[in-house]
Amino acid sequence: MLLAGLLYMKIQKSIEIQNAIYSYLEWKQTHTSAAYTCYKIRLEQFAEFIQPKTKLSEVNGDDIIAFHRSLENHYSLNTIAYSARVLKNFFWFWHGRGFTAFNPKEIIPIRFVSADKDIVTREDLEDMNSLLELNNLPDLQKKLVLHLLWDTGMRLSELLDIKISDINKQGSDGLRTAKVRTRKSMRYNLVIWGADTNELINRYLGIRLCMETDHQNLLINPKTKKSFTPRSIQRWITELSDMAMLDKTITPHSFRHGKANYILDQGGSVRDVSALLRHVKPESSFQYMQLSQKRYEDVARKYLNTFKNTSEISTYFESDNQLKFQFS
């Protein structure tokens, strides 16, 4: 039906921007459902901005520039860069089908590198975990979230999507695995957690299986009998980090960054990070190399000329015929 619609629009030689957005999003959703909502918001915002233009063929590069200029006083550079990528992808789609009058190469996303983000350390995890009680259901759920995020490096969307049926039986070594689906790539992957986290899972499942709800998700709000929202988990983590006086801006994704750095600090390789965090593109793992100041200092120190005393300094410069020092 999509192909038939595209053929009809091509015969008409012109296409309404709203129809173009709808067709593009329908195509986009076939291979990456996670991007659908974000793309829809930005594309519809652009369509409203360029009114009274209503035809895709009427849009030019100046319209793109004017749109992003209008965002500067209301949005971050990161958001504007993302918007440029969305529009570039959108116009490439229609450019390849002969519906746009300008070349999408004119859309150049700004080069923006976000500041280093705060990461969760093992000590941070222990500080937050110590604030929670095992015999209290809300606290138990929070404990479980903290441990699952740390052990697996899961994305928050993956954690909230886990169903009871996705969890495999406990192994003889006390470890346990679960099948998770990444919304971005639509791929299924396996995650694994340790014995301490599995003890929390077993304790929680005894309560979870008694909840009267049709939802199969592992994490269920006991009041609403529905899945928790991402905002709820974010609020938990913010409150716990404040109570633990961590002096950091921590998000659920901070655990993923923290896990990557922990792997590297323990002698793991970037390849290990890529495998355990389930990156589709290996280069995604390299961003974690620069986040740990301690690891950077340790590596840099190995390749600096260091001297134990002033005699070694004198000997070094004399042998190099650069400068001589007189020491008493």
Domain assignment of residue 316, given as a range: 300-328
Report if residue 154 sits inside a domain.
Answer: yes
Are residue 62 and residue 163 in the same domain, yes or no?
no
pLDDT tens for each residue of 24-58? 998 888 766 667 788 999 999 999 999 999 899 89
Q: What is the pLDDT of residue 323?
A: 44
User: Considering the entire predicted model, what is its pTM?
Assistant: 0.64
Are residue 90 and residue 137 in the same domain, yes or no?
no
Q: Answer positive or negative: Cα dihedral of 308, 309, 312, 314.
A: positive
Report if residue 82 sits inside a domain.
Answer: yes
Buried b (16+ CB within 10 A) or exposed e, 277-307: bbbeeeeebeebeebbeeeeeeeeeeeeeee
Are residue 101 and residue 135 in the same domain, yes or no?
no
Residue written as token pair 């309560």: 207
Total tally of structural domains belonging to the chain = 3
CATH of the domain at 137: 1.10.443.10
Report if residue 49 sits inside a domain.
Answer: yes
pLDDT tens for each residue of 169-214? 887 777 888 888 776 666 778 889 988 999 999 999 999 988 888 8
pLDDT tens for each residue of 233-266? 999 999 999 999 998 889 999 998 889 888 888 8
DSSP 32-54: -THHHHHHHHHHHHHHHHTTT--
In the chain, % of residues over pLDDT 70: 79
Are residue 98 and residue 159 in the same domain, yes or no?
no
Average pLDDT estimate for 119-141: 93
